[in-house]
Structure 1
Amino acid sequence: MNFPLVLLILLVVTGGIWLLDYFVLRHKRVSGNTEEPWWVEYPKSFFPIILIVFSLRSFLVEPFKIPSGSMIPTLLIGDFILVNKYTYGIRLPVANLKIIDMNEPQRGEVMVFRFPEDPSIDYIKRVIGVPGDMVTYRNKQLSINDVPVQLEQGGDYKYIDGPAYIYTQRFKENMDGSEHDILINEDMPDIQLSAIHHFPNRENCTFDRTGFSCKVPEGNYFTLGDNRDGSSDSRYWGFVPENHIVGKAFLIWWNFNDLSRIGTLIK
């Protein structure tokens, strides 16, 4: 379901009835001494609420729930997060057309965007490459423009994936001064070659058993999940176009399974 579109339709319908009543119907009721009909009363009551929700969700912040483990350990399954909708510019609702430029996504930031292969689905990943960057990942080492990204060993890490426990290694990654934790499973291949899709600008990438290299085209971004061996991301389905960006994730506001995560800033 396209919730922003549904919300926009409800806003237009209730707002239209409110305007119709304000300029036409209420005057007829006064002169005819009749009561307000239900089909006018209810839309008028809901219109201010829908307007507030629509405005907040479209231009300020939007809530999301994390459905998968691709961003472990930064984000856990069941985390409810808030996304800043204006950091990367003000966009028209539904059309997602940028009307006011502000900031551009930077390496290391956690970004929500519409999945390039199905824009009705929202994805969340970490920005690794910006336009013009050469992103290389070989033998578990990430490099940007031929400069290796610093890694610091963080010890063992385990998490539940369905019925199984996954044992892996935790590292602290330093990207342009931004530190965040990632997971790397040394027992997994660097890339699953059979899982690579055909995507726009695929000619900018080279793949082999040791990893890949991709040149990020203008107007696009390259993303990876923090759970490097448990994420479907740009190495498999390609670059994120600028017009698919939703916003920057900045806060965990709820998790039913772990209340200690409430109020955690997303790094």
Structure 2
Amino acid sequence: MANFYSVLLTVVTIFAGLIWLVDARFLKPKRQQRIGDEERRLQQTLDEDARQRLAPQGNVAEFAQSVFPILFVILILRSFFYEPFRIPSASMMPTLLEGDFILVEKFSYSLRDPIWRHELLELAEPERGDIAVFKYPPEPSLDFIKRVVGLPGDRIIYRNKTLYIEPSCETEVQNECPPLQVIERNMTRSDAFYFNGATPLQRFEEKLGATSHATLVDPTVGGRERYYFQQQGTARDEWLVPEGAYFVMGDNRDNSEDSRYWGFVPEENLVGRAEFIWMSFEMDRPASSWLPTWIPSGIRWQRLGGVE
């Protein structure tokens, strides 16, 4: 479904362009010939209204000519520059909330064609801490959004709700490689409180690479190691990121379906990097409300801006 709109927009744009091309190459010269013959017969130049009455452009061709430039610009912008994306769940709280609408920078990592997603140009690689949108590996028709935690070659451990990273090392001298690092987290207080049902979540400040961000932990949730993706040759809560792949996690650590449960994100699945919240709708409403749950109850203006 995630790629449906890209395919539909591409097909409609091509169809409108072909109609406009056929009209311009074959039908327009015939209309001009008819107008020229009539002007020579009358020995005078016809005004625009008279020309339209004598040789009108078809409604379909006129509509295609009007919409094609607009569709073409939208297609180029959406395919290669920026694409809107709606946050559908709470897995990235508190960084991103359900109801946030973000812009995804499509050219952050590579340029790909909008239908088959073949790489046209490689531009950069994800950095640790990036918020990336990608095709969900178990079901590529879905778009997911998570934070990049592990890069190719990294060793990742998530144990007792603490994240450990041993960065990739290509040197042959073992003592020059960086050791296993504990990603420190500091509990913070905030004016905003987050809950899982009636349980208040603990908020921590964490730093991945150059990115500082907040995470949430549910103190009532125990270990879920038995559900973790098991990589051959590693412990249940340990993973080695293969080449050409990335390990991602949600900031809402106990409410996120991420690499811990289904594995790694191949490089070809990457869509782009989340850059900006352009709209944020408040979706909470009392159970007694007669309005449908999908209708926003307000706008969170304070959330508009860049994301980290």
Deviating 4+ runs (over 4 angstroms) = none
Distance 2:241 2:233 in 1: 7
For each residue in 1:204-246, what CA deviation from the matched residue of structure 2 results, as whole angstroms up to 9, or x when unmatched? 6531xxxx10000111100000000000001111110111100
Deviation at 1:61, TM superposition (A): 0.6
Contact 2:229 2:259 in 1 (8 A): no
Q: Which letter maps to 1:153?
A: M
2: CA distance, partners of 1:67 / 1:205: 33
Number of aligned positions between the proteins = 256
- Mapped to 1, the partners of 2:256 and 2:199 lie a distance apart of 14
Counterpart of 1:126 in structure 2: which amino acid? R
The answer to whether the 8 A contact 2:249-2:260 is kept is: yes
In 2, distance between residues paired with 1:204 and 1:102?
33
User: Counterparts of 2:225 and 2:99 in 1: how far apart (Å)?
Assistant: 27
The alpha-carbon distance between structure 1 residues 204 and 131, as it changes in their structure 2 partners (threshold 3 A), is farther
Contact 2:279 2:301 in 1 (8 A): yes
What are the ranges of 5 or more consecutive residues in structure 1 without an aligned counterpart? Answer: none
Specify the alignment match of 1:206 in structure 2: 235
1:246 has 2:275 as partner:
no
1:187-206 → structure 2 map (5 Å cutoff): 187-191=220-224, 193-194=226-227, 196=228, 202-203=231-232, 205-206=234-235
Measured at CA, do residues 92 and 55 of structure 1 come closer, stay the same or move farther in structure 2, by a change above 3 Å?
Answer: same
Query: Which of residues 192, 205, 209 in structure 2 aligns to 1:176?
Result: 209
% identity of equivalent residues: 40
Return the offset for 1:193.
2.1
Structure 1 segment 111-260 matched on structure 2, within 5 A: 111-145=132-166, 146-155=180-189, 158-159=193-194, 164-191=197-224, 193-194=226-227, 196=228, 202-203=231-232, 205-207=234-236, 212-257=237-282, 258-260=300-302
AA of the residue aligned to 1:143: Y
The structure that has the greater radius of gyration is 2
Distance 1:204 1:250 in 2: 37
Tell me how far apart the structure 1 counterparts of residues 233 and 244 of structure 2 sit (CA, whole Å): 14
State the distance in 2 between where 1:153 and 1:88 align: 33
Preserved CA contact (<8 Å) 1:69 1:76: yes
- For the Cα contact (< 8 Å) 2:152–2:243, is it kept in 1? yes
1:143 Cα deviation (Å)?
Answer: 0.6
- Equivalent AA in structure 2 for residue 142 of structure 1: L
- Match for 2:71: what amino acid? I
Residue 25 (structure 2) pairs with residue 23 (structure 1): yes
Partner of 2:286: none
Listed one character per residue, the Cα deviations across residues 71-98 of structure 1 (whole Å, up to 9, x for unaligned) are: 0000001001011110112222122222
Structure 1 or 2: more strand by fraction: 1
Unpaired runs of 5+ residues, structure 2, are 35-53, 167-179, 283-299
What's the offset of the Cα at 1:165?
A: 3.4
C-alpha change, 1:120 and 1:249, in structure 2 (3 Å) is same
> Deviation per CA, 1:12-42, whole angstroms, max 9, x where unpaired?
1011111112211111222245211112111
Cα deviation for residue 159 of structure 1 reads 2.8
2 CA distance for matches of 1:40 and 1:139?
Answer: 64
Paired with 1:92 and 1:204, the residues of 2 have a C-alpha distance of 37
Distance across 1 between alignment mates of 2:234 and 2:241: 9
